[in-house]
Amino acid sequence: MAKDKDKKKETAEEQYDEAVEKVVEAADAEVEEKTPETDWEDKYLRVNAELQNVQRRAQDERLKLVQYRSQDLATKILPSLDNLERALAVEGLTDDVKKGLEMTQESLLNALKEEGVTPIDNSSEFDPNFHMAVQTVEASEEHPAGHIEQVLQKGYQLHERVLRPSMVVVAQ
């Protein structure tokens, strides 16, 4: 009887092993059948996502090109503004000449402002993102360290991009 039980047990285990093998084989076959489909679907989704990223980057680039289209022209006009400012600082100009220079300067500044070019604010503390320290002076009670003492050349920015930093003298 013990032999019969052992034989039945072995037969049951063999049947169990065979059933498990069949289930595993069926699952493997099903996975193999679905893999190419899933592969293509996955590839499609990846390519589609990449295409959307390329389109978004191209749109961002177009917007930046439009936003900063006047950067080169503004950079070329800034020295003329500097020269007008220097000319206005000359003593002995007649009122008519001075008024003509001021009108020219104002029209250039307005044209640049319409394009988004604005002077950099030099009333605040020294900021290396907007100012270039070309000289330092000793700090005092009136002007603490980091305070802008003098502006040697105005700086300008186009929207948030610095076209030219302000050249300044800083208390240190």
Using one digit for the tens of pLDDT, what is the confidence trace for 62-116? 998 888 888 999 999 999 999 999 999 999 999 999 999 999 999 999 999 999 9
Listing DSSP states for 109-130 in one string gives: HHHHHHTTEEEPP-SSB--TTT
23 vs 86, more confident: 86
User: What does each C-alpha distance from 23 to 11, 18, 28, 34 come to in angstroms?
Assistant: 18, 9, 9, 16
Considering Cα of 91, then 92, then 98, then 104, what sign does the dihedral take?
negative
Mean pLDDT (the chain, rounded): 86
CATH of 71-171, one of 2.30.22.10, 3.50.50.60, 1.10.8.100, 3.50.30.50: 2.30.22.10
Show the tokens assigned to 5.
Answer: 């039980």
With bands split at pLDDT 50, 70 and 90, how would you rate the model's confidence at 170?
Answer: very high
